[in-house]
Amino acid sequence: MPTRPQPPRAGEKIGTVKLPPSRPGAPQRDQRGDSRQQFQRGRDGRPPAREQQKPAAPAQPKFVAPETGEVIVIKPPIIVRDLATALKQKPFILIGDLMKLGVFATVNQAIDEKIAQQVCAKYGFRFEVEKRERGAGVVHAVEKKIELDVEDKPETLKSRPPVVTIMGHVDHGKTSLLDVIRKANVAAGEAGGITQHIGAYTISVPHPERKKELAQITFLDTPGHAAFSSMRARGANVTDIVVLVVAANDGVMPQTIEALNHAKAAKVPILVAVNKIDHPNANSMKVRQQLQDKGLVPDDWGGDTIFVDCSALTKQGIDKLLEMILLQADLLELKANPDRRAKGNVIESGVEPGGPTATVLVRKGTLRVGDIILCGEFYGRVRALINEEGQRLKEAAPSVAVKVLGLNGVPDAGLEFSVVEDEKAARELAEQRFLQARAEGQEAKKVTLENLFATLAAEQSKALKVVVKADTQGSVEAIVEALKKIESEKVTLEIIHSDVGAITENDVALASASSGVILGFHTRVDSTAAEKAKREGVQIKLYAIIYELIDEVKDSLTGLLEPILKETIVGSAEVRKVFELSKGVPVAGCMVSSGRIVRGKVRVRRRKDVIYEGVTQSLRRFQDEVNEVRAGMECGIRIEGYSEFEVGDAIECYSVEKVAAKL
């Protein structure tokens, strides 16, 4: 009968001998073997491993992963459920395996890296922990990755087609001009059936200088300048060139000036198309003269604005107009990197039988079918790209407008979209934006005459932008002249639009886009404009007396200046004796030498140098706490946080008031 193996001596490590690697298909040993197994192990000449009281992580690997095994990578914490999914095993099987290893965990609990390695090894896998970047949490890392708009290197940039918006007064021939350029009548095509018109299209024309080369131009067919400004209000300046259409027989009209002001506010180059020159009453010189008065000096008169005489009816001058657009585009040197993830803006959006659609203009990168797109609080995978002719495209390069199917909602016009790699990250960020927008109530802080200083305090260049509307042309001119005479070096006054008539939605749109206010004189506000102003947070101020209007604007401009801080010395006292107290700061026994000492701001002077500034903790006359002590009287003063009084120090009491700056 063999002797029982002796327990290990003190200091001897338990279980330091390596076990041979398990053969595939061989029955696995249980750590808590019965006495027969222990007996056999002892007979083989191996010291027995006494059953441990606390079965924590084993000291040696129980299972060895094959060197060629597939690698499973999981980010910490290693949750049992995630590990089971990766191993394609039921969670309860894994829980059983863990129990055999002496680890008791539920499906939602985390386990140690070494334990995970052994469990994976049992099933023939290798396990690795995915290392996180320092300080990069899940949400922040995802957001950073999505929002980061990488700066394109100059060598990756390639020239792109110009994006042109056509604007002008109603009935001056904008649509006819677009039809001729497009060589198709949009109105006739839309009379019956489903229209495929998407609000933008790209044409190819021979380049004026390189005749063999086809140049592209993208036209945005937006419904006038209201849409243009609503997009700009959301920060989307998608237009490269504005073509201002003016009828040669009518000349400059109110909406022409509005469109001109919108283009100027957006700082976009303007090209003037003088249309209807075939009309019997056409006078292109009059148009040039009127626009010169508005600041657009024709190039043939020594200015820098290109004027092109054309006719949508006879097709005269259309080729020259396209040439001039291309030459202007060459001067602008428009470039984008097509070999990157796409980024751009929504032009129009809606709901169709196939679901939500958005017409987008790609600004940089190339948009492809299958891309994951994030747009505001909406996201989705691009199911289809459709051009203006209803044809399906596989991809859209920079400056190309396409209708996108696949978003999970209808985004607003002007919103920026970006293509991202990770759908889960896109969904999380979209949900986060939705909750944020709901929490803020989508209220953007707008400018009012009263809060100008508070709103623009952070901005370096302080400017008040105003839209002026009055009942007569004389009043408009008088107000504009009076406003221009308000001089100030620190604050600029910018009149972005002035006109005769009621305050309309277009005025509100322009003020909203430019963060300005609307001033009305002897005029009314359209009901729709009032509603829009309330919605957009634009301030409308109405006046009946011109001087009131000028004075309020002056006051608001003064409010833009930093207020001057004026300091007044209230009184002074001399320290005659210092009384140390058992607890707290000492008391300075003082004689009030001038004025009066009151509770509030004080400073301590020693030989005319200020050595401390603070506030009075207490002011006493004998045993009583008082609010003020007049000249010639004695008092005890304690100053918060100061205990270094010396006899002869002067304690000054002062007040600070803000005085409004003057222009």
Q: What is the pLDDT of residues 491-511, one digit of tens each?
A: 778 888 888 888 988 889 888
Residue at which a domain ends, from 440, 468, 487: 440
Highest mean pLDDT among 45-59, 178-192, 355-369, 473-487: 355-369
Please check whether residue 385 is in contact with residue 369, taking contact to mean a CB–CB distance below 8 angstroms: yes
Highest mean pLDDT among 110-119, 174-183, 591-600: 591-600
251 Rama class: left (phi>0) / alpha (psi -120 to 50) / beta: left
In a domain, 620, yes or no: yes
**Higher-pLDDT residue of 453, 461:** 453
Q: What was the pLDDT predicted at 482?
A: 83
In a domain, 652, yes or no: yes
In a domain, 120, yes or no: yes
631's tokens: 């000249």
The whole-angstrom separation of Cα 646 and Cα 117 is: 73
Look at residue 241 and tell me whether its pLDDT is greater than 80.
yes
> Do 170 and 293 reside in the same domain of the chain?
yes
**Confidence at 545, pLDDT banded by 50, 70, 90:** confident
Q: What was the pLDDT predicted at 356?
A: 83
Count of other CB atoms within 10 angstroms of residue 186: 16
Bond from prior residue into 77 cis (ω within 30 degrees of 0): yes
The alpha carbon torsion through 202, 208, 213, 215 (nearest 10 deg) reads: -20
**Confidence at 596, pLDDT banded by 50, 70, 90:** very high
Residue at which a domain ends, from 129, 145, 171: 129
Q: What is the mean pLDDT of residues 515-519?
A: 88
The whole-angstrom separation of Cα 616 and Cα 570 is: 14
Q: Of 222, 207, 202, which Cα lies nearest the Cα of 396?
A: 202
> Do 392 and 475 reside in the same domain of the chain?
no
Q: What is the pLDDT of residues 383-400, one digit of tens each?
A: 888 887 778 888 888 888
Q: What is the pLDDT of residues 550-561, one digit of tens each?
A: 888 887 777 666
The whole-angstrom separation of Cα 512 and Cα 421 is: 35
Look at residue 153 and tell me whether its pLDDT is greater than 50.
yes
> Do 612 and 637 reside in the same domain of the chain?
yes
Look at residue 488 and tell me whether its pLDDT is greater than 50.
yes
The contacts of residue 411 (CB under 8 Å, 6+ apart) are 346, 349, 358, 375, 376, 378, 417
> Do 174 and 312 reside in the same domain of the chain?
yes
Please check whether residue 493 is in contact with residue 468, taking contact to mean a CB–CB distance below 8 angstroms: no
The whole-angstrom separation of Cα 65 and Cα 126 is: 6
Q: Of 317, 228, 236, 335, which Cα lies nearest the Cα of 272?
A: 317
> Whole-prediction pTM value?
0.50
**Confidence at 140, pLDDT banded by 50, 70, 90:** very low
- Interhelix angle for 505-514 vs 527-536, to 10°? 20
Highest mean pLDDT among 144-148, 174-178, 198-202: 174-178
Q: Of 269, 200, 208, which Cα lies nearest the Cα of 241?
A: 269
264's tokens: 């100027």
The whole-angstrom separation of Cα 498 and Cα 254 is: 10
What CATH number has the domain bearing residue 618?
Answer: 2.40.30.10
Highest mean pLDDT among 424-428, 434-438, 531-535, 658-662: 531-535
Q: What is the mean pLDDT of residues 282-291?
A: 86
Least confident of 203-212, 260-269, 608-617, 638-647: 203-212
Task: Output the CA–CA distances (angstroms, integers) from residue 246 to 163, 228, 310, 463, in the order listed.
Answer: 20, 18, 10, 31
Return the residue matching tokens 């039921």. 90
Look at residue 471 and tell me whether its pLDDT is greater than 70.
yes
Q: What was the pLDDT predicted at 435?
A: 77
478's tokens: 């008088």
Look at residue 653 and tell me whether its pLDDT is greater than 90.
yes
Q: How many residues does the chain have?
A: 663
The contacts of residue 236 (CB under 8 Å, 6+ apart) are 345, 413, 414, 415, 416
**Confidence at 3, pLDDT banded by 50, 70, 90:** low
> Do 527 and 573 reside in the same domain of the chain?
no
Report which secondary-structure segment, H or E, holds 616.
strand 609-621
Task: Please state, for a pLDDT cut of 70, what percent of the chain lies above it.
Answer: 77
> Do 402 and 473 reside in the same domain of the chain?
no
Q: Which alpha helices (DSSP H) does 243-317 contain, by range?
A: 254-265, 284-293
For 195-234, b/e burial (b = at least 16 CB within 10 A) is eebbbbbbbebebbeeeeeebbbbbbbbebbbbbbbbbbb
> Do 177 and 243 reside in the same domain of the chain?
yes
Look at residue 189 and tell me whether its pLDDT is greater than 50.
no
Q: What was the pLDDT predicted at 50?
A: 46
Look at residue 195 and tell me whether its pLDDT is greater than 70.
no
Q: What was the pLDDT predicted at 37?
A: 47
Domain extent for 631: 564-659
Least confident of 14-28, 77-91, 304-318, 629-643: 14-28
> Do 532 and 508 reside in the same domain of the chain?
yes
How are the residues of the chain apportioned to helix, strand and coil, as percentages rounded to the nearest 5? 30, 30, 40
Q: What was the pLDDT predicted at 576?
A: 93
Least confident of 27-41, 118-132, 203-217, 635-649: 27-41
The contacts of residue 416 (CB under 8 Å, 6+ apart) are 235, 236, 343, 344, 345, 346, 375, 376
Q: What was the pLDDT predicted at 635?
A: 94
> Do 321 and 224 reside in the same domain of the chain?
yes
Q: Of 187, 162, 214, which Cα lies nearest the Cα of 312?
A: 187
Count of other CB atoms within 10 angstroms of residue 270: 21
**Higher-pLDDT residue of 309, 133:** 309
501's tokens: 């008539």
In a domain, 88, yes or no: yes
Beta strands (DSSP E) in 320-389 are 335-336, 343-352, 355-364, 367-368, 372-375, 378-386
**Confidence at 40, pLDDT banded by 50, 70, 90:** very low
The alpha carbons of the chain give a radius of gyration, in whole angstroms, of 39
Number of compact structural domains in the chain: 5
Look at residue 352 and tell me whether its pLDDT is greater than 60.
yes
Q: What was the pLDDT predicted at 592?
A: 94
Q: What was the pLDDT predicted at 463?
A: 76
For 285-311, b/e burial (b = at least 16 CB within 10 A) is ebbbebbeeeebbbeeeeeebbbbbbb
Return the residue matching tokens 């999380």. 428
In a domain, 1, yes or no: no
The whole-angstrom separation of Cα 613 and Cα 595 is: 19
What CATH number has the domain bearing residue 512?
Answer: 3.40.50.10050
Q: What was the pLDDT predicted at 242?
A: 87
Q: What was the pLDDT predicted at 458?
A: 47
Burial class of residue 451 (count of CB atoms within 10 Å of its CB; 0-12, 13-18, 19+): middle
The whole-angstrom separation of Cα 505 and Cα 503 is: 7
Residue at which a domain ends, from 560, 590, 608: 560
Return the residue matching tokens 């390596």. 18
Q: What was the pLDDT predicted at 649?
A: 93
In a domain, 28, yes or no: no
The whole-angstrom separation of Cα 506 and Cα 216 is: 31
Count of other CB atoms within 10 angstroms of residue 103: 20
In a domain, 214, yes or no: yes
**Confidence at 595, pLDDT banded by 50, 70, 90:** very high
Return the residue matching tokens 């010395």. 569
**Angle, vertex CA 615, rays to CA 613 and CA 619, nearest 5:** 125
526's tokens: 């359209």
Return the residue matching tokens 């209708």. 403
> Do 324 and 381 reside in the same domain of the chain?
no
Q: Of 648, 651, 661, 659, which Cα lies nearest the Cα of 619?
A: 651
Least confident of 162-171, 218-227, 383-392, 450-459: 450-459
Biggest CA-to-CA distance, the chain: 130
Q: Give 308-334 as a DSSP string.
A: EE--TTT-TTHHHHHHHHHHHHHHHT-
Q: Of 195, 264, 253, 162, which Cα lies nearest the Cα of 510?
A: 264
Q: What was the pLDDT predicted at 57?
A: 47
Look at residue 512 and tell me whether its pLDDT is greater than 70.
yes
> Do 303 and 195 reside in the same domain of the chain?
yes
Mean pLDDT, the chain, whole residue set: 77
Look at residue 184 and tell me whether its pLDDT is greater than 90.
no
Q: What was the pLDDT predicted at 121?
A: 87
The whole-angstrom separation of Cα 244 and Cα 270 is: 7
310's tokens: 């054309």
> Do 569 and 548 reside in the same domain of the chain?
no
